[in-house]
Structure 1
Amino acid sequence: MTATDDHIDRLPAPALTRPTSQAERVADMLRTFIIEGELAPGVRLSEERLSRKYQVSRNTLREAFRLLSRERLLVHRMHRGVFVARPTGEDVRDLFRARRALELPAVREADRAPRELVEAVGAAVTEGEAARAEEDWWRMGSANMRFHEALAGLARSTRVDEFMRQVLAETRLVFHVMAAPKEFHDPYLPWNRRIHLALVAEDTEDAVAELTEYLATSEEQLIRAFDAMDPAAET
C-alpha cells in the first residue's frame, strides 16, 4: 500500500452539507480535511481511491480538484497527478496580509456581534485547552484554526466566512513546516484566551492590539522556519 493509499484510508467519513453542487461539496470536504491537518503538503490524491471511498464520480472529483487548485490548495503535475500544495515563505507573507484584512476588522467591530458568536470564540479556546491537557498537539492546532475562523465569524458575513476557510486551509498547510507542534502551538493558547476575554469584556481595542501582535509573532516564526528549510525540501 502506498503513502497515498494510507492517507486516503485514514480520512474521515464525509460531511457534505454546506455548498450546493456535488463538486462544491466534495471541495468543501477536502478543504476541511486540510484545515484539520488530515491532508499534508505533498500528498498525492488518487482519483480512483477517493471516488470509491466517497462514492462520487471522477468527473465530480476533477471539478472539485479544479476548485481547490484555484484556491492554491492543490496542484496538478503533468503525468504525475494531483497533489496537496506546498506553500512557500512568500505564501506565508501573503496569507498573513489576507488574515489581517479578514480578522482585524471583524474583531474591531465585535461589540456589535451577537453573543453566541463571541461564545464560539471561547468554545474554540476551551477545545484547545482540553487538547493541551491530553497532550494532543495536532488537535490543539485544529482548535486554533477554529478559533481564528470564529474571530472572522464576528464579521457576520458569509463571504468573509468563505474567504477565511480558504485562507485557513492554506495556513494549516504552512503549519506543517513546524517540526515541533507542541512548541509552536502551546504559547499561543493563553494568547487566544486573552483575546477571548477582551471580547467578552467588549474591549475591542485591547482584542485588536493582542491579535495584531499575535499575527506578527506567528508570521515571523513561520518565516524563520521556512528560511531554515533545506531548499531541496520544497521541490
Structure 2
Amino acid sequence: MAAELDPAVLAGDRALLERSSTADRVADILRARIAEGFLSPGTKLSEDAIGTALGVSRNTLREAFRLLTHEKLLVHELNRGVFVRVLTVQDVVDIYRVRRLVECSVVRHLGAPPYDLANAEAAVEEGERTAGDGDWRGLGTADIHFHHAVVDLAHSRRLTELMTGVLAELRLAFHAMDNPREFHEPYLGRNRELLTVLRAADLVKAELLLTSYLDDAERQLVRRYSETIALT
C-alpha cells in the first residue's frame, strides 16, 4: 500500500503562497513536487494534511486536485479519495511521442547561434553534483530540468507550459525503474554530450543525439512497464 504524502515535504512551500493564493498556485506546487519525485504513483493525497501544510481551504485544494486530474497527474477514485496516477505502457509511449515532436523540433529550429545554454549547463552541473552525492532521485530531477531548459530555448510560453505537465508525468514513469542509478546515470553523460553539440551549433547532430536518447529511454521504460504488467 502506497504511503500518504508526508506534510513535512510541503512545509517550506507555504511561504510561496501569497494571501491571494489560488488553486493554480497550489497546483503549481504539487506539480513541482511530482516532477521532483516526492510523490510516487499510487500515493493518496490527504486533503487535511496538505491543506494544513499549505494553509489553504478545502475548496481551493479540491480545485487544484481537479486541475491536476485534468493534466493526468492525479486520479479521483469514488469513495476512496485522490491518488497520484499510475501510468500505463500506452501513457509512456504517448509521452515519448510528444517529447519527440516538441524537443526535437525545438532543436531543429533553433536558428543561428549563439544560444542561451546557461540553464542547460546548470542542469548538467546539478546532475553531476547529485550523482557525486549518490542522490539518484536528485539526478532524475536534474534530468527533468535539463529537458525543460532545452524546450525553453524556443522562447515559447505555450511550449514551456505544455512540457511542464508532460515532464511531470514522465517523472511518474521513472518510479517504475528498480535501479534509478542504473537508469539515470548513463543519460547524464548524454546530456553533457548534447550540451556540447548545441554549444557548437551542430543542430543536425544534436537532433540525432536527442532522437537516439529518447528512443533508448522509451525502450527501457516500456520494457520495465511490460515486465511489471506480466508479473501482476
Fold similarity call, TM over 0.5: yes
Mapping 1:62-73, distance limit 5 Å: 62-73=62-73
C-alpha distance in 1, partners of 2:17/2:198? Answer: 30
Unaligned segments of structure 1, at least 5 residues: none
- Could you tell me whether the CA contact under 8 Å between 1:11 and 1:38 is conserved in 2? no
C-alpha distance in 1, partners of 2:157/2:37? Answer: 23
**Structure 1 residue 12, shift from structure 2 partner:** 5.0
Equivalent position amino acid for 2:133 in 1: E
Deviations 1:65-121 (A, max 9, x none): 0000000000000000000000010000000011111111111223447643x1211
Mapping 1:1-235, distance limit 5 Å: 3-4=3-4, 7-14=6-13, 16=16, 22-112=22-112, 115-116=115-116, 118-230=117-229
- Could you tell me whether the CA contact under 8 Å between 2:10 and 2:53 is conserved in 1? no
- Could you tell me whether the CA contact under 8 Å between 2:11 and 2:53 is conserved in 1? no
Deviations 1:25-68 (A, max 9, x none): 00010000000001110000011111111000010000000000
Q: Secondary structure at the match of 1:219?
A: helix
Equivalent position amino acid for 1:190 in 2: G
- Could you tell me whether the CA contact under 8 Å between 1:45 and 1:84 is conserved in 2? yes
- Label 1:107 to 1:152 Cα distance change in 2 as closer, same or farther (>3 A): same
**Structure 1 residue 10, shift from structure 2 partner:** 2.9
C-alpha distance in 1, partners of 2:227/2:66? Answer: 32
Equivalent position amino acid for 1:59 in 2: N
- Could you tell me whether the CA contact under 8 Å between 2:113 and 2:201 is conserved in 1? no
Unaligned segments of structure 2, at least 5 residues: none
Equivalent position amino acid for 1:154 in 2: L
- Label 1:64 to 1:4 Cα distance change in 2 as closer, same or farther (>3 A): same
Aligned residues: 229
* TM-score using structure 2 length: 0.93
**Structure 1 residue 16, shift from structure 2 partner:** 4.0
Q: Secondary structure at the match of 2:155?
A: coil
- Label 1:49 to 1:106 Cα distance change in 2 as closer, same or farther (>3 A): same
- Could you tell me whether the CA contact under 8 Å between 2:10 and 2:50 is conserved in 1? no
Q: Secondary structure at the match of 2:162?
A: helix
- Label 1:46 to 1:133 Cα distance change in 2 as closer, same or farther (>3 A): same
C-alpha distance in 2, partners of 1:41/1:112? Answer: 41
C-alpha distance in 2, partners of 1:114/1:53? Answer: 44
